[in-house]
Amino acid sequence: MTNSDTKLSIAFYNLENLFDIIDDEDTLDNDFLPSSDKKWTEKRYKNKLRKLSFAISNIGLEDIGQPPAIMGFAEVENKQVIEDLLNAKHLKELPYDYVHYDSPDERGIDVGLIYDATKFSVTTSEVFPVNLFDDQGERDYTRDILLVSGILENNSIHILVNHWPSRRNGAEETEYKRLTASKKVEEIIDNLKRKEDNPRIVVMGDFNDGPLNNSIKNLVNNQDLYNPMATLKSRDRGSLNHKLEWNLFDQILFSTNFFETDGLSYKEANIFDADFLKLFNGKYKGIPFRTYVGKKYKGGYSDHFPVYIILENPK
């Protein structure tokens, strides 16, 4: 029996501003138009789609001989960009379908999920808002949390896809926002546990916090989750790089029943940091090869590396 008969992967990838080139009057997407300073043209959009499709098709390939069965995304503008991505060169022959909801984020970036329809079937999906307020009591809109429940190779599973508020105004100053998001995830998990005995739960996302931050530690401790990413971060490895320092904000956590052997069981976790996703020379050699640095077009993939876990199904 080959690896691909028994093993599968679940992944997460922040796609770094996957915007189409059409102006959406309801969102702040003006940076990503052909007329903008960034000159976001159809050619550049299609180049990014092709590159991302290549990256996604290679995640886990070396380990199990096939791309992810399920993959969460951050920073997709709408369902059209997901459809365009699934129709891009390296994914169009694969049996992927997707789940997407528009979120209230002011820039119009959402989370989403794609899945191999031959391995996973969706039973329900919904989104949960993270209610944040600024000092004036005004609503501070951010990305919703996406919950997708379904059957993965005869196993009931619940997947939460997250993109928590950024650290743009300082890590400490914005920590309360990520703690609020973490609390919302806990509420969702509590609700799942009320409805189902011992549910299998995967929590993935760009959390804008690392494994040792309170927002993540609270989730692990309060909900009996395991975070395999906690052992992956090092001084010279992570999922994104800021000022030559590595962070591991992209993580996949899961309920500890994935260590049991009577269903899908956890095998390993990794950062997908293949050489083709990295800058190959200069001062920043080895960090993610991104699409833009400020307004300067670089033509790369994303400013994040994907992360993934491998599960095994006993047969």
List the domain boundaries for the chain. Answer: 8-312
Percentage of the chain beyond pLDDT 70 is: 98
Of 107, 106, 196, 108, nearest in space to 147 by CA: 196
Provide the 10 A C-beta neighbour count for residue 107.
18
Determine the pLDDT at residue 143. 94
Across the range 282-304, mean pLDDT stands at 93
- Extract long-range pairs of 76-80: CB within 8 Å, 24+ residues apart: 76/15, 76/18, 76/100, 76/109, 76/110, 76/111, 76/112, 77/18, 77/19, 77/20, 77/24, 77/27, 77/29, 77/32, 77/108, 77/109, 77/110, 78/20, 78/24, 78/102, 78/108, 78/110, 79/112, 80/20
Report whether pLDDT(3) > 50.
no
Summarised one tens digit per residue, pLDDT across range 70-84 is 999 999 999 999 999
Quick check: 272 and 59 in contact, CB under 8 A?
yes
Q: pLDDT by residue (tens digit) across 50-59?
A: 999 999 999 9
Return the CATH number of the domain spanning residue range 8-312: 3.60.10.10
Residue type, 39: K
For the cut 80, the answer to whether the pLDDT of residue 221 exceeds it is yes
Give dist(CA 176, CA 171) in Å, integer: 9
What integer pLDDT is reported at residue 140 of this predicted model? Answer: 84
Confidence grade of residue 315 (pLDDT, cut at 50, 70, 90): low
Spatial distance between the Cα atoms of 99 and 277, rounded to a whole number of angstroms:
26
Please tell me the predicted confidence (pLDDT) of residue 4.
53
Pairing of strands 145-152, 120-128: antiparallel
Tokens of 67: 């791309």
174 φψ region: left (φ > 0), alpha (ψ -120 to 50), beta (else): alpha
Distance of alpha carbon 270 from alpha carbon 62, whole angstroms: 12
- Residue 136 pLDDT: 78
Tens digit of pLDDT for each residue in 93-126? 999 999 999 998 888 899 999 999 999 999 999 9
pLDDT of residue 205: 98
Residue 68 in this model has a pLDDT that exceeds 60: yes
Residue 258 pLDDT greater than 70, yes or no? yes
Q: Which has the closest alpha carbon to 52: 257, 291, 228?
A: 291
Q: Return the pLDDT at 139.
A: 85
Choose between 134 and 207: higher pLDDT: 207
Partners of 242 in the beta sheet? 245
Most confident listed range (171-175, 192-196, 242-246, 284-288) = 192-196
Task: Give me the pLDDT at residue 207, please.
Answer: 98
Strand pairing class (96-100; 70-76): unpaired
The per-residue pLDDT for 1 is 31
